[in-house]
Chains A and B, each alone.
Chain A
């Protein structure tokens, strides 16, 4: 994945780029809004990370300008402001996702991957090994057998299936399935995943869901 990182704090920018590189992505770092717009004119990127506070212009302004020029580049907005209103504003301006600083690099990378995927394809049916997920009828079959799932269990599985092979963080589950942007103290996500696991296991061989310690879960495509 080619990622443009727009971040004025040099150390943060380097850490993000190093983190992306360590996970096999190419990262380009720019520090200003105008440099970001110029870089997007020249190069081809798969996704961008945009800091809200830039020295020359507000990140939201850069985002609006980019969308005005017709770019459909998936953009993840970074901010130190975590309030409900700021998040809504960020998404209104044309951001695809919103991440509050400080964040875990795994969280950032997982979200970028999901963004890239979400834009790239939107199939009606996903087949992973013996697992068959129909996103329209919301039916799941494993090895040809129907697996009855609760609506939220289906959403959890569908989110992982759309990003098969990539980790989905707990935060991503909470935001995309329950639209919540805070951390409940209890293990809401883990409990749902454990139920989903139980149901998938009882209708097939092995556990297709892998736990990634401290980050979240991943659906494996050959397990």
Chain B
């Protein structure tokens, strides 16, 4: 601002001086013309005429041998050229003037001058105006900065108060975010709130899992301990001791399988890049899993029907996880239904996705439990006596999510229908030689249970 003021001041001053110099030069030229036409007498007459004119602002002087012979300015003779000099005004005070001195052909010196007072007043006005403007701007800036600072401090204080409350352990605190138009702080607040919601959700889930885990581990551990205790205290003959040990071993095996399920669920839920995705033909993989489960399902008095899409469905996936997900769904369909149930597995295309459906015509689950059973460790009361740890569907859901898909449950009227969606490979024609399965024996025959429906 001060720099701008200085620049304007210098520019205005220079342009005013140059205008003044032009006027002085013009006036001098007029007088020289008078001199050329009529010599000194005409010149003097012109000077007197000009000096008496009310609009005139010039002062004149004619010097011969350094002495003024005609002058309305009290100043000594100046050397020829343009220069600033000092004169005495009517009251005898020193004052600044600027003038042009010209040597006439008879050797006398002609001075045409102006008082510098006008220029000085202009300079003073410019300086005053700029000082005022600068002052006002500085004041406004200062006041603005103080107000803005207070405002920012208040907003930040609210954020830090919330952060402190959360650090203090109360996770329910949130920043106030008004609805409607949001400024930058509101937007930061909204994202912080979203982050807090996510963290709270994760912590809640973690707490839930820990509780369930504690509960689900405590029961088999307690049983294991009492088996060992009874083996140690009861009168021991070798066969009964052996039976006790076998029961204890079965208990520890079920604990280990629970651990395995928790670990693989954690691995899949964490997602990330640790999986090496390859492109496979989903139909072939599903057929393989069915082939694996078919004998067990048929031995249990249930039947398995498989219906595959005619179209080859290429998906990018971790085959082991997809296989285990389908396997879990088939396991569920077998475990939670009575003998005589028909289980169907369908693989079909769905726009950019592939759909894997496992459904049964068993008792199904109540509508209100559909969402609940997808959660970890949730087991419906009537399945308390069947094997399993309540992680199977969570695992399937996590596998689907890892493959940019989803798991949905719906009633098959009667029975339960589980629908897994996974995204299809972007370019199915670019199937590499890594496709799955790697080798199908030449003698592989059509599956006896694979009836198209």
Asked if B445 is at the interface (CB within 8 A of a chain A CB), the reply is: yes
- Kindly identify, within residues 151 to 189 of chain A, every residue whose CB is under 8 Å from any CB belonging to chain B: 151-152, 178-188
Query: Do the beta carbons of B292 and A178 come within 8 Å of each other?
Result: yes
Give chain B nearest CB distance to A211 CB in angstroms.
15
Give which listed residue, B264, B324, B335, B443, contacts A186 with CB less than 8 A.
Answer: B335
Residue B256 interfacial (CB < 8 Å):
yes
Binds A, one of B61-69, B164-172, B315-323: B315-323
Given A151-B443, A152-B291: A194 touches B299 (CB 8 Å cut-off): yes
Cβ of A22 within 8 Å of any chain B Cβ, yes or no, is no
Option from B264, B276, B327, B445 in Cβ contact (under 8 Å) with A82: B264
By a CB distance below 8 angstroms, the chain B residues around A186 are 293, 296-297, 300, 330-331, 334-335
- The distance in angstroms between the C-alpha atoms of A134 and B388, with both chains bound, is 40
Contact A182–B324 (Cβ < 8 Å): yes
What A residues does B295 contact at CB under 8 A? Answer: 188, 191-192, 194-195
Give min CB distance, A149 to chain B, whole Å. 9
In the bound complex, CA of A72 to CA of B264 (Å): 32
A82 touches B275 (CB 8 A): no
Q: How far is the CA of A151 from the CA of B293 in the complex (A)?
A: 14
What mask results when residues 272 to 310 of chain B are scored 1 for a CB within 8 Å of chain A, else 0? 001110000000000010011101111110000000000
Tell whether, in the assembled complex, residue B335 and residue A180 are in contact, meaning their CB atoms are under 8 Å apart: no
Complex partner residue of B292 from A138, A188, A194, CB under 8 angstroms: A188
User: Please, which residue of chain B has its CB at the minimum distance from the CB of A138?
Assistant: B443
Q: Report yes or no: A88 in contact with B276, Cβ–Cβ below 8 A.
A: yes
Complex CA gap A179/B264 in Å reads 16
- Per the bound structure, the CA–CA distance linking A111 and B249 in Å amounts to 20
Q: How many of chain A's residues touch chain B, expressed as a range? A: 20 to 34
Separation of A138 and B441 alpha carbons in the complex (Å)? 9
Is A102 close to B, CB under 8 A? yes
Q: Are A82 and B296 in contact (CB under 8 A)?
A: no
| B403 CB, min distance to chain A CBs, angstroms | 14
B273 to chain A, nearest CB (A): 10
Contacts of A179 in B (CB 8 A): 320, 323
B246 CB-CB contact with A under 8 Å: yes
Contact (Cβ within 8 A) A84 B260: no
Instruction: List the A residue with the shortest CB-CB distance to B252.
Output: A102
Q: Which of A83, A150, A187, A194 contacts B267 (CB 8 A)?
A: A83
- Check A84/B335 contact, CB under 8 A, given A186-B296, A191-B296: no
Closest-by-CB residue of B relative to A174 is B292
Judging by beta carbons under 8 Å apart, are B444 and A151 in contact? yes
Interface residues of A in 17-39 (CB under 8 A from B): none
* A185 & B335 in contact (Cβ 8 Å cutoff): yes
Residues of chain B contacted by A191 (CB below 8 angstroms): 295-296, 298-299
| B400 → A minimal CB distance (Å) | 17
- Is residue B239 within 8 Å, beta carbon to beta carbon, of the partner chain? no
Which of under 10, 10 to 19, 20 to 34, or 35 or more describes the interface residues of B?
35 or more
Contacting residues, chain A, for B387 (C-beta < 8 A): 185
A83, A178, A188, A192: the one contacting B264 at CB < 8 Å is A83
* Inter-subunit contact B296/A214 (CB<8 Å): no
A180 to B40, CA, bound (A): 126
> Which of B263, B276, B330, B443 makes the CB contact (< 8 A) with A83?
B263
The answer on a CB contact under 8 Å between B275 and A185 is: no
Q: Say yes or no: B246 contacts A214, CB within 8 Å.
A: yes
Q: How far is the CA of A2 from the CA of B144 in the complex (A)?
A: 86
A222 contacts chain B at the CB level, 8 A cutoff: no
Interface contact B246-A151, CB-CB below 8 Å: no
A179 to B154, CA, bound (A): 62
CB contacts (< 8 Å) of A188 on chain B: these are 292-293, 295-296
Task: Output the least CB separation between B158 and chain A (Å).
Answer: 44
Q: Give Cα distance in the complex from A24 to B348, angstroms.
A: 54
Q: Can you list, as one digit per residue, whether each of B428-452 has a CB less than 8 Å from chain A (1) or not (0)?
A: 0000000000000101110000000
Question: Across the interface, do A184 and B260 meet the contact criterion of CB distance under 8 Å?
Answer: no
Neighbouring A residues of B321 by C-beta, 8 Å: 84
Q: Given the known A-B contacts A84-B318, A84-B320, are A183 and B274 also in contact in the complex, defined by CB atoms under 8 Å? A: no
Partner of A178, one of B274, B288, B334: B288
User: Whole-angstrom distance between the alpha carbons of A122 and B331 in the complex?
Assistant: 36
Contacts of B324 in A (CB 8 A): 180, 182
Residues of B close to A195: CB separation below 8 A:
295
- Candidate in A84, A152, A192 with the most chain B CB atoms within 10 angstroms: A84
B274 touches A85 (CB 8 A): yes
Query: Are A83's CB and B274's CB within 8 A?
Result: yes
Complex CA gap A150/B256 in Å reads: 33
Closest residue of A by beta carbon distance from B444: A151
Question: Given the complex, which residues of A lie within 8 Å of B30, measured CB to CB?
Answer: none
Instruction: For the complex, give the distance between the alpha carbons of A183 and B443 in Å.
Output: 28
> Nearest-CB distance from A19 to chain B (Å)?
14
**Complex contacts, B293 vs chain A, CB 8 Å:** 184, 186, 188
Say whether B257 contacts A183, CB under 8 Å: yes
Whole-angstrom CA separation of A179 from B323 in the bound complex:
10
Bound-state Cα–Cα, A185 to B296, Å: 10
Rounded to whole angstroms, the CA-CA distance of A100 and B318 in the bound complex is 20
Q: Are B296 and A85 in contact (CB under 8 A)?
A: no
B residues in contact with A194, CB < 8 Å? 295, 299
Selected A-B contacts with CB under 8 Å, 6 pairs: A88-B276, A178-B292, A185-B331, A186-B334, A191-B296, A214-B246
Q: Which 6 pairs show the lowest CB-CB distances between chains A and B?
A: A191-B295, A191-B296, A186-B296, A85-B274, A185-B331, A83-B267
Given contacts A188-B296, A190-B296, A191-B295, 7 further A-B contacts (CB under 8 A): A85-B274, A100-B260, A180-B324, A184-B293, A186-B297, A186-B330, A191-B298
- Residues of B whose CB lies within 8 Å of any CB of A are 246, 249, 256-257, 260, 263-264, 267, 274-276, 288, 291-293, 295-300, 318, 320-321, 323-324, 327, 330-331, 334-335, 387-388, 441, 443-445
